């Protein structure tokens, strides 16, 4: 397979973790005979510094003509802590998602056996947890009409959804469930909200095309409880924008390390892959940033192009690094391994499937 991949390292630790993800993709390309072409552009604070614009046209153009985008992280204290700043690094990512028509945010949550002790949940609750959240990304109350009355004493936000917005992400969720435990849970508030009832009606209709998939429903308030009480019950969670924001953040902490979580943002023509952690400027250039979330985002990229065996090789290598405690200091304070060495181990393991040198 030939893939043209736009690489946007961004700010802070973005460049060093993305470099490891590229290294891993190169190892996969060589081992499995694919041609992955990488082209790099700037985004975020570095782009503001250079062009006064967090998303230069050249960056958009590169992404539009690429098959996928590998994204690092964005944000710099120089802009984040300045309330008068009109141009902010984050605007670059929001505008990029819009320019690429990315309507589904996909967030896998997995409890790694070697990290159970780091979870805030007791072991019996978190053991074996492995689910994936599909969050609608372009509709709902975050994007509806906002009103503030002239006298400033009344405000409103409109939550809207249309059939097409629900259908396209629902199909993605059902297709993914097919490759997993064959269960989709729609999280909504259909006992109260009209938009939730539309989600339920359309999703129920779509489910008929996937007779092998079980469709469940859960109200958002109950889902927020179930994620703590029994997260092992979930396989694929499908939900609207704001509910997805809330439960994907809640879900991100139950596994015990945010340094192991990646996400994908998918549209009909393009897809972007990124770690969920931020730019962590304090750790920049210290060779201590955990590259695993970025490497996992590269594995999601491989899966997106149906390179399942290749993606599996990457996740297997990551699991082996965790087992052998070849990890950065965030996972083991006494670790002698840095960002690069963890990346090297994973790349070597993909190429050779052995760990005799470690």
**Which lies closer to Mg ion via its Cβ, residue 85 or residue 225?**
225
Triad 234, 230, 263: Cα angle to 5°? 45
CB of 44 or CB of 140, closer to a second copy: 140
Active-site annotation holds for 189? yes
CB of 296 to a second copy, least distance (A): 20
Q: Is 212 a catalytic residue?
A: no
Alpha-carbon span 76 to 13, nearest angstrom: 11
Chosen from a second copy, Mg ion, none, partner binding at 87 (C-beta under 5 to 8 Å by type)? none
Pairing of strands 2-10, 35-40: parallel
Q: Give the nearer residue to a second copy in terms of CB position, either 159 or 331.
A: 159
Rounded least distance, CB 221 to Mg ion, Å: 4
Residue 86 within binding range of a second copy, rule CB under 8 A = no
Among 77, 101, 113, 120, binds a second copy (CB under 8 A): 120
Rg (CA), the chain: 20
Number of residues this chain uses to bind a second copy (CB under 8 A)? 49
Least separation in angstroms between CB 336 and a second copy = 28
Paired tokens of 52: 């006064």
Distances (CA, A) of 343 to 123, 157, 323, 352: 29, 45, 15, 14
11 catalytically annotated: no
Quick check: helix, strand or coil at residue 268?
A: coil
Where are the strands (E) in 32-90, listed by range? 35-40, 68-73
Q: Which is nearer to a second copy, 2 or 147 (CB)?
A: 147
- Tokens of residue 45, six digits: 């604070």
Question: Looking at beta carbons, which residue is closest to Mg ion?
Answer: 221
Query: 234-293: which residues touch a second copy (CB under 8 A)?
Result: 242, 245-250, 252-254
Dihedral angle, C-alpha 79, 80, 81, 82, nearest 10 °: 50
Q: From CA 291, how far away is CA 283, in angstroms rounded? A: 12
Starting at the edge strand found earlier in the chain, the sheet holding 130-136 runs: 35-40, 2-10, 68-73, 271-275, 262-266, 104-110, 130-136, 236-239, 183-188, 214-219
Q: Which of residues 195-254 bind Mg ion (CB under 5 A)?
A: 221, 245, 249
Binding mask 196-215 for a second copy (x = CB under 8 A): -xx--x--------------
159 to 178, contacts with a second copy by CB under 8 A? 159-163
State yes or no: is 245 an active-site residue.
yes
Positions in the binding site for a second copy (CB under 8 A): 119-122, 125, 141-142, 144, 146-148, 152-163, 189, 192-195, 197-198, 201, 220-222, 224-225, 227-229, 242, 245-250, 252-254
Catalytic residue annotation: 142, 189, 221, 245, 249
């Amino acid at each position: 397979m030939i893939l043209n991949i736009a690489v946007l390292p961004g700010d802070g630790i973005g460049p060093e973790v993305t470099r490891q993800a590229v290294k891993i993709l190169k190892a996969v390309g060589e081992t499995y005979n694919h041609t992955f072409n990488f082209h790099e552009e700037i985004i975020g604070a570095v782009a503001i510094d250079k062009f006064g614009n967090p998303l230069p046209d050249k960056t958009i153009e590169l992404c539009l003509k690429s098959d996928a985008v590998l994204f690092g992280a964005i944000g710099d204290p120089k802009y984040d802590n300045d309330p008068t700043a009109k141009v902010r690094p984050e605007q670059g990512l929001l505008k990029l998602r819009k320019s690429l028509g990315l309507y589904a945010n996909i967030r896998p949550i997995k409890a790694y056996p070697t990290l159970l002790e780091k979870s805030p949940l007791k072991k019996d609750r978190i053991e074996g947890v492995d689910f994936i959240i599909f969050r609608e990304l372009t509709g709902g109350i975050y994007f509806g009409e906002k009103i503030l009355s002239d006298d400033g004493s009344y405000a409103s936000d409109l939550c809207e959804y249309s059939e097409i917005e629900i259908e396209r992400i629902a199909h993605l969720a059902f297709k993914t469930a097919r490759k997993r435990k064959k269960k989709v849970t729609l999280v909504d508030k259909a006992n109260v909200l009209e938009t939730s009832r539309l989600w339920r009606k359309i999703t129920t209709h779509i489910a008929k095309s996937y007779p092998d998939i079980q469709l469940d429903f859960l109200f958002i308030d109950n889902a927020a409880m179930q994620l703590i009480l029994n997260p092992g019950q979930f396989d694929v969670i499908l939900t609207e924008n704001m509910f997805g924001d809330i439960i994907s953040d809640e879900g991100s902490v139950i596994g015990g390390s945010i340094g192991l979580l990646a996400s994908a943002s998918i549209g009909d023509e393009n897809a972007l892959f990124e770690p969920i952690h931020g730019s962590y400027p304090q750790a920049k250039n210290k060779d201590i940033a955990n590259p695993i979330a970025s490497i996992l985002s590269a594995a999601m990229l491989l899966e997106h192009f149906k390179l399942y065996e290749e993606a599996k090789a990457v996740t297997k290598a990551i699991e082996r690094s965790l087992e052998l405690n070849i990890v950065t200091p965030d996972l083991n304070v006494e670790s002698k391994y840095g960002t690069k060495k963890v990346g090297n181990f994973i790349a070597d393991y993909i190429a050779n499937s052995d760990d005799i040198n470690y």
